[in-house]
Amino acid sequence: MKSNSGFYIGRIKQVNTRLLNKFLAQKNITAFNGEQGRILHVLWENDGISNRELSKNLVLL
């Protein structure tokens, strides 16, 4: 049986980003979007984090 877990994880991330963007729009937050918010959150929680660590936390590697 073939596993499509990568596909489903990608779809979940897309839906999550759309929901976050919708929430930000409802609150009239225009300083950043959902994608940028994810990055800002990781940077806020991990002061002095390296680019490599940031990538790992954002699952970009």
Q: Where are the domains of the chain?
A: 5-57
Q: Please state at what angle helix 34-45 crosses helix 5-26, rounded to 10 degrees.
A: 100
Q: Which pLDDT score, from 0 to 100, does residue 45 have? A: 92
Torsion of CA 21, 24, 28, 32, to 10 degrees: -80
pLDDT of 46: 92
Q: State the pLDDT at residue 61.
A: 47
Per-residue pLDDT of the chain (61 residues; tens, 9 = 90+): 567 888 888 888 889 889 989 999 999 999 988 888 888 889 999 989 999 999 888 876 4
d(CA 29, CA 46): 23
pLDDT of residue 50: 93
